Structure 1
Amino acid sequence: MPTIKPISDLRNNFNQISEICHKDGEPVFITKNGQGDLVVMSMALYERQQALLDLYQKLGEAEAQSNSGAERISHKDLMKNLREKING
């Protein structure tokens, strides 16, 4: 269940909101005049979400490349090429 707090709690109870973000590993939704206004989250959660977005973008690019009919290389040949580069 999401944690929803009024914006006044951000000013008056910042440490409590920070603790919730770190302890639960979930964002806290902040309302202003009864409407959603902000989302507060820990740096760790933010970095995880950014990493996931980056991964999804790369997977999308790889899928598009795969569907475009680009030349492919087998796993065996790829590993052989990598070993040759590493070993000289």
Structure 2
Amino acid sequence: MQSVRPISDLRNKFTEISRDVHGSNEPVILTRNGSADMVVMSMKTFRSLEFDSEVYHKLKEAERQAAETDTRYTSEEVLASVKQVVSSV
């Protein structure tokens, strides 16, 4: 469950917020005047989100490319192609 805290806690309770983001691997939403203003998260969580975003964008690109052609490959064909590229490196 996401934690929502006032932005003043960042200054007054930094250690507690740091413990929370590292312990839960969930971001903490900081509010200013009752409205969400920013998010604090651990580097582990941030890198995970970056990775997920990169994978998502690559899958979207693959879907776009697939829509442009009727060519399809089996998993065996893909694996053979990868092995060929890896062995030539």
Short-chain TM bin: 0.7 to 0.9
| Distance in structure 2 (CA, Å) of the matches to 1:58 and 1:16 | 37
Amino acid at match of 1:33: N
Check if 1:58 corresponds to 2:61: no
Q: Which residue of 1 aligns with 2:30?
A: 30
Check if 1:67 corresponds to 2:67: yes
- State the SS of the aligned residue for 1:49: helix
| Distance in structure 2 (CA, Å) of the matches to 1:3 and 1:74 | 45
Amino acid at match of 1:58: K
The CA RMSD measured in Å over matched residues stands at 2.0
Q: How many residue pairs align between the two structures?
A: 87
- State the SS of the aligned residue for 1:26: coil
Q: Unaligned stretches of 5+ in structure 2?
A: none
How high is the sequence identity, in percent, across the aligned residues? 37
Q: Unaligned stretches of 5+ in structure 1?
A: none
CA deviations over 1:11-45 (Å, ceiling 9, x no partner): 01100000000001100011111111111000000
- State the SS of the aligned residue for 1:39: strand
